[in-house]
Amino acid sequence: MEELIKHAAIKTSDGEIVTGKSHAHAYEKALPKKFGTSPGDQGFVTNTGRYVGREEGGKIALASGQIVKETNFLFSEDLWDIGYEGIHDYSEAEGYYINEEKKELFRGKA
């Protein structure tokens, strides 16, 4: 199975992984439960359930075709924000998934 980026994620001070569309969204979800969460550990969760940092996340997203520009520091916006040519939408249940209209806009018909 090809590994894909599914959620932006943060790791709280006690090791819990909290996911969201963006890292800011994950923080909003974590702070009421985990006071003291620091912004230091940000990454992504893949479709295999693995937590990866921003650098490895960029490599996975590029290799899987989720992004087309190489990056050393993946931002969630690279996946979903049209200003960054992101072609994905997001749902809490599914994570990031391709929006065909965005894909056609930025990459043409496959």
> For the residues of the chain, what is the DSSP string, one character each?
----EEEEEEE-TTS-EEEESSHHHHHHHHTTTSTT--TT-EEEEETTS-EEEHHHHHHHHHHTTS-SS--SS--THHHH-GGGT--EEEETTTEEEE-HHHHHHHH---
Total domain count, the chain: 1
Give me the tens of pLDDT residue by residue for the chain, a chain 110 residues long. Answer: 899 999 999 988 778 899 999 999 998 888 766 645 455 589 999 999 999 999 999 999 999 999 988 998 999 999 999 888 899 999 999 999 999 998 888 877 54
Q: What is the pLDDT of residue 33?
A: 63
Q: Which domain holds residue 31?
A: 5-107
Q: What is the pLDDT of residue 89?
A: 93
Q: What is the pLDDT of residue 22?
A: 95
